[in-house]
Amino acid sequence: MSQKSLVEEMQQVQLAIELIELGARLQVLETETDLSRARLIRLFKEVRGMSPPKGMLPFSTDWFITWLPNVHASLFYNIYRSLIVEQECERMQAFVTAYRLYSEQVSIDQAEPVLGLTRAWTLVRFFESDLLQLSTCNSCSGHFVAHAHTPDQDYVCGICMPPSRAGKTRKRREREAEEAVSREVSLKRVG
Ligand SMILES: [Zn+2]
């Protein structure tokens, strides 16, 4: 094995550890590194002290369009995009940094981190597959996650025009989030 590949392997292990610490699922690690599944499972157990959870990844774009997830997803994606476009960061480095910055911002605002790392990764992949776009709000000029090919000449974001349910209690929001997730699961079954 050449020295270069050893260095590359170490970098991949380092990336995998960072992703696991931030809450990545096994599928994220398998896609983003060349490390074997057995090694990733071992790493996961060492870092988290438990086996990686089983099950499929969420794959519906709809979740990112619902009110509260949309605000969080848009915050994260704007940070990610600025790291890629303005700072010319490498993709996964931008991803990890953007996720850390997003988490910091959420904790400063004393809000709950609605966007888990695996969701954030799914979001990036949806953008890369042209399933999502950033629409510019006509009221605040902010950029928000929207379905691809959504006409945005009249677009107004969820912060400028919150739905009536936005002011509801936490419990009710959580219940609605659960309902959204179960809708997603049933979509998955159909697909
Ligand atoms: Zn707005």
SS (H, E, C) 5-60: HHHHHHHHHHHHHHHHHCCCCHHHHHHHCCCCHHHHHHHHHHHHCCCCCCCCCCCC
Torsional sign, CA 4, 6, 9, 13:
negative
At 169 the pLDDT is: 58
Q: How far does residue 59's CA lie from ligand 1's centre (Å)?
A: 26
Protein residues placing their CB within 5 Å of the ion ligand 1: 137, 139-140, 157, 160
What is the C-alpha separation between 65 and 166, in angstroms, rounded?
14
Tell me the percentage of the chain whose pLDDT exceeds 90.
70
| 160 assigned ligand-binding residue | yes
Secondary structure class of 134 (helix, strand, coil): strand
Q: How far does residue 155's CA lie from ligand 1's centre (Å)?
A: 8
- pLDDT tens digits for 72-111? 999 999 999 999 999 999 999 999 999 999 999 999 988 8
Q: How far does residue 161's CA lie from ligand 1's centre (Å)?
A: 7
- pLDDT tens digits for 33-85? 999 999 999 999 999 999 998 888 877 999 999 999 999 999 999 999 999 99
Q: How far does residue 34's CA lie from ligand 1's centre (Å)?
A: 41
Q: How far does residue 143's CA lie from ligand 1's centre (Å)?
A: 8
Please enumerate in sequence order all residues whose Cβ is within 8 A of that of 27, keeping only pairs 6 or more positions apart, or say none: 57, 118
| 89 assigned ligand-binding residue | no
What value does the mean pLDDT take over residues 122-136? 97
At 137 the pLDDT is: 96
At 163 the pLDDT is: 81
Question: For tokens 């959580």, what's the residue?
Answer: 174
Q: How far does residue 165's CA lie from ligand 1's centre (Å)?
A: 17
